[in-house]
Structure 1
Amino acid sequence: MSRKRLQKSADAPATVRTVAALAGVSIASASRVLNGIGGSTETVRRVREAAARVGYVPNAIARSLQARRTGLLALAVADIGNPVYVEMMRAIEEVAKRADYQLLVHATGADPEGETALLEGLARRYVDGMILSPLRIGDGHLTALGRSPVPVTVVGQLPDDAPFDNVRADSHGGVLLAIEHLADTGRKRIAFVNGAPDTLPGAARMTAYRAALTAVGLPYEEELVEIGDFQYAQGRAAAARLLARARPDAIFCANDLIAAGALHELLAGGLRVPQDVALVGMDDTALAEMSFPQISSVSLGAAERGRLAADLMLSRLENPQLAPRRETVAPTLTVRASSEVTL
């Protein structure tokens, strides 16, 4: 290549054609080397030297389209500020990174239409796969999941016959652990502050609460149940409404954000925790340990669910013909100062 032509090509981004001409090889040979496929030792040397000389930068988008692989995975959750999703995200990211994938995170605000739109957007193949953790599952989700051209793993409750990779928590077992613990400490009026009951976790934990009361021989009392949302402020407001009409000797909360709100409402009202009212949360996030007194909480294995979801995704990418798989993570209870005292 003449000095004049080299100077002219330097004014624009170098291409495979530029590298091939400078190296004295065919465009096909240069392309194989630049895409990591290889060639003879001499060809590889000449192409690499030429690429360095002209500052060749591979077109990542073109290469990903050619290979039909973006190197990206997506995670879609309701609220990226929720400690549960933070734990899940970190676990997924760790697994993805080891497999040379990067993670894109979407906050859906628990909007079913937004989640469905995200799933439908997968037709553009901007990622190789998605991990979705919805608060609600409707027909729109299931239809979009069935049409997705890339794998989707769902973290949350799916219909038993849904043919998709699925990781779920054992909410029923977790609620039973909490209620059994409170009953074992002598509590007789165990209240429940739930999140939105039309969500998957809200519905599951409400059903589990009633079943757990029956299991420990305690009656269900309507006045001991209050509905809020899975947030601190709404949890505190719900606890205030509960305490305005009833006096439980224990409160079980559907997550730790609600439990933190309930704790502050109890203390603000002059009630001692756990002497007057014991308190147990759910999810066992760092918030439970940072509170004072520290909050007893049931872990539903957020990090483990994330790890399993990422493992299922990578297996599916490697072998798309695998039968749909389902994993359930067992709950554990950590007892702390908010419920330790035995009456």
Structure 2
Amino acid sequence: MGDGPTITTIAERAGVSIASVSRVLNGLPTRQETVRKVMAAADELGYVRNAVARSLKSRRTHQIAFAMADVGNPAYLAMLREIQPVLKAAGYRLVLHSTDAVVADEIDVLHSLGERYVDGLIMSPLRVTDTHLQMLATARAPVVIIGSVPDGTRVDNVRADSRTGVRLAVDHLYALGRRRIAMVNGPLDTVPGAARGAAYREALTDLGLPYDENLVQIGDFYREEGRRAVAELLDRAPEIDALMCANDLIALGALDVLRAKGRRVPEDVAVVGMDDTDLAAASWPSLTSVSLGSAERGKAAAELLLERLQGDDGDPKRVTVAPRLAIRASTAGPDYERTQRKEGGA
């Protein structure tokens, strides 16, 4: 009897399960009513002296959430590899959310900030809706958005320069003598889809090339969707000689389809992706891709969030990461692969 309160006695006093008490005391997402019951019971039983309960009452959990559209996308993994060590060095654990780009799931993550299960949030949404903006304006903890948000949004923001990135890719293809440059994009109601589609059209205009809707195919940011979209595009416009893909996963799907149809890369069709993920260098042929600085954006977001957690209450900050073009065999040809192998073995 003299050993003090335990998780079991708190569960009995609160009228909830032992598992629910454990979730609350470990700062995991839990219904607000359950949190109130557990904390009231812990107070009554004198458990607030416990370090975890004390941290909850002081609104510090030493946890940060990272919400992304697709945990399987290498671009987000590159962000994660930079976010985690920055936060770990500052004494924070990282909680991951893969939302599948479902707006309702992202809004739920923002709403749950009021339940104090994390001290801050890094989010990379594909779509930014009015509801996102409303929730960001009243967020109960610091938030950093990786991706573009409307001007005037009062939130720290780390963004890529997709416009310049697409221009680098199209200019490269044009310099190679390609004139039937097609594009496979993601949904136009997403931030990257809209930006990359507009940049493609602008780049063609600046080069004096006509914009042809028959050379544009809208799919989604997944490899399987890339296969489907490229197959439809080739059936409609078999004469294309270059393909600008809105991300590397689409481009890998394009390589699958071109190989199956006997179209040589890059002799018949040159292919460029975006994100310059680990998969780009490992594909066959290796994929020319525009790096949008996923790792740099992740690190910058983590550093901005730490500044807020350490008391910075200044105006929202915006960081833009410059793109760069990584040229590989899917545009440079087999000689590039041979040269790289020789240099790698030297």
TM-score (norm 2): 0.82
Name 1:117's counterpart in structure 2.
Answer: 108
How far apart are the structure 2 equivalents of 1:120 and 1:80?
A: 21
CA RMSD of aligned residues (A): 1.8
Name 1:258's counterpart in structure 2.
Answer: 250
Larger radius of gyration: 1
Name 2:20's counterpart in structure 1.
Answer: none
Contact 2:265 2:333 in 1 (8 A): no
Shift of 1:130: 0.2
Is 2:106 the counterpart of 1:137?
A: no
Name 2:26's counterpart in structure 1.
Answer: none
How far apart are the structure 2 equivalents of 1:335 and 1:153?
A: 32
SS in structure 2 of the partner of residue 126 of structure 1: coil
Summarize deviations over 1:107-158 as a string: whole Å, max 9, x none. Answer: 1111111111110111111100000100000110011111111101011110
SS in structure 2 of the partner of residue 187 of structure 1: coil
How far apart are the structure 2 equivalents of 1:59 and 1:86?
A: 35
How far apart are the structure 1 equivalents of 2:178 and 2:51?
A: 61
Is 2:290 the counterpart of 1:324?
A: no
Shift of 1:65: 2.5
Name 1:202's counterpart in structure 2.
Answer: 193
Alignment of 1:71-220 (within 5 A): 71-220=62-211
Name 2:10's counterpart in structure 1.
Answer: none
How far apart are the structure 2 equivalents of 1:288 and 1:231?
A: 14
Summarize deviations over 1:206-241 as a string: whole Å, max 9, x none. Answer: 000001111222111111100111000110110000
Name 1:50's counterpart in structure 2.
Answer: none
Name 1:285's counterpart in structure 2.
Answer: 277
Summarize deviations over 1:160-219 as a string: whole Å, max 9, x none. Answer: 111110000000010000000000010001000001111110000000000111122211
How far apart are the structure 1 equivalents of 2:286 and 2:255?
A: 10
Contact 1:185 1:341 in 2 (8 A): no
SS in structure 2 of the partner of residue 73 of structure 1: strand
Contact 1:168 1:328 in 2 (8 A): yes
Shift of 1:58: 6.9
Name 1:9's counterpart in structure 2.
Answer: 2
Question: Which residue identity does 1:9 align to in structure 2?
Answer: G
Shift of 1:320: 4.0
Question: Which residue identity does 2:274 align to in structure 1?
Answer: M
Where do 4+ consecutive residues of structure 1 move more than 6 Å? none
How far apart are the structure 1 equivalents of 2:75 and 2:197?
A: 19
How far apart are the structure 1 equivalents of 2:307 and 2:2?
A: 44
Give aligned-pair identity as a percent. 55
Contact 1:252 1:279 in 2 (8 A): yes
How far apart are the structure 2 equivalents of 1:252 and 1:274?
A: 13
Question: Structure 1: where are the runs of 5+ without partners?
Answer: 1-7, 15-55
Question: Which residue identity does 2:326 align to in structure 1?
Answer: T
Question: Which residue identity does 1:106 align to in structure 2?
Answer: H
SS in structure 2 of the partner of residue 272 of structure 1: coil
How far apart are the structure 2 equivalents of 1:205 and 1:254?
A: 7
Name 2:22's counterpart in structure 1.
Answer: none
Question: Which residue identity does 1:129 align to in structure 2?
Answer: G
Name 1:340's counterpart in structure 2.
Answer: 332
Question: Which residue identity does 2:320 align to in structure 1?
Answer: T
How far apart are the structure 1 equivalents of 2:232 and 2:254?
A: 11
How far apart are the structure 2 equivalents of 1:307 and 1:256?
A: 21
TM-score (norm 1): 0.83
Name 2:30's counterpart in structure 1.
Answer: none
Question: Which residue identity does 1:335 align to in structure 2?
Answer: I
Question: Which residue identity does 1:282 align to in structure 2?
Answer: M
How far apart are the structure 1 equivalents of 2:190 and 2:128?
A: 8
Question: Structure 2: where are the runs of 5+ without partners?
Answer: 8-46, 335-346
How far apart are the structure 1 equivalents of 2:248 and 2:56?
A: 43
How far apart are the structure 1 equivalents of 2:104 and 2:5?
A: 44
How far apart are the structure 2 equivalents of 1:300 and 1:226?
A: 22
How far apart are the structure 2 equivalents of 1:128 and 1:57?
A: 19
